[in-house]
Amino acid sequence: MAEQNTFLYALSSNNAWAGYKAHQNPSFFTKLASGQTPQILWLGCSDSRCPETTILGLQPGDIFVHRNIANIISPTDINTSAVIEYAVAHLKVKHVVLCGHSSCGGAAAALSDSRVGGVLDTWLTPLKAVRYAHADELAAITDDKKRTVRIAELNVEAGVKVLMANFTIQDAIRDRGLEVHGTLFDIASGRIRDLGFGTRGSVGFDGSSDEVVRGNHAQLVFGGGNAKMAVR
């Protein structure tokens, strides 16, 4: 595909997708336009290889989304805070999922002693702080890819701690059992791994019951420490 035709191709692809969805389910877009009731707030990286709805096998309307460079959760970032407040306090999502990923450019940049330039260096400061806080552990990892994955995991852990300190999230955990999950997406396999950070031991992850997130053509079922897809 020629570079100059990418946008026109995307518009054509959208037209084909909309036609297919309308044919598959004539009421799909009518229901979608009537409002949203997502059960998941997804906090992820802006990386083009990590499209949350696609990798979770869900549909438009199932996930409320905020993504930024290196999925950094900063308590002073009003953008992230506004998304969290709207999703948790107003949409009443049941799950907050913070997801890092392998092959993360932001993680690699934080491990480097070189400057990226511009505002990116400022934005990546919290991730640099994670690096310095775990300097000995990271230095002991000789494989560059494994080191990058490890700092991505540590970044998720740090982000979950910020989430757990958020008053809106604390209130929702106490009042209605909101669950917070720290995860990592492995691009090479397409799999999401639960890192065990957040509200572990609550419904959906201790095996006592299943929590079903319903899509328009599938169900993502959390239970027993795993998730399974059930097509309906």
For 95-150, what is each residue's pLDDT tens digit?
A: 999 999 999 999 999 999 999 999 999 999 999 999 999 999 999 999 999 999 99
Determine the average pLDDT of the residues in 145-160: 98
**47 has binding-site annotation:** yes
The DSSP-derived string for the chain is --GGGHHHHHHHHHHHHHHHHHHH-TTHHHHHHT----SEEEEEE--TT--HHHHHT--TTSEEEEEEGGG---TT-HHHHHHHHIIIIIS--SEEEEEEESS-HHHHHHHSSS---THHHHHTHHHHHHHHHTHHHHHT---HHHHHHHHHHHHHHHHHHHHHT-HHHHHHHHHH--EEEEEEEETTTTEEEEEEEESTTSTTTSSS--EEEE-SSEEEEEETTEEEEEE-
pLDDT tier, 200 (very low <50, low <70, confident <90, very high otherwise):
confident
Share of the chain above pLDDT 90, in %: 84
Examine the pLDDT at 164 and tell me if it is beyond 90. Answer: yes
Top CATH class of 38-195 equals alpha beta
**pLDDT over threshold 60, residue 161:** yes
Query: Is 50 annotated as a binding-site member?
Result: no
Catalytic center residues: 45, 47, 49, 101, 104
pLDDT at 90 over 60: yes
Average pLDDT over residues 199-228: 49
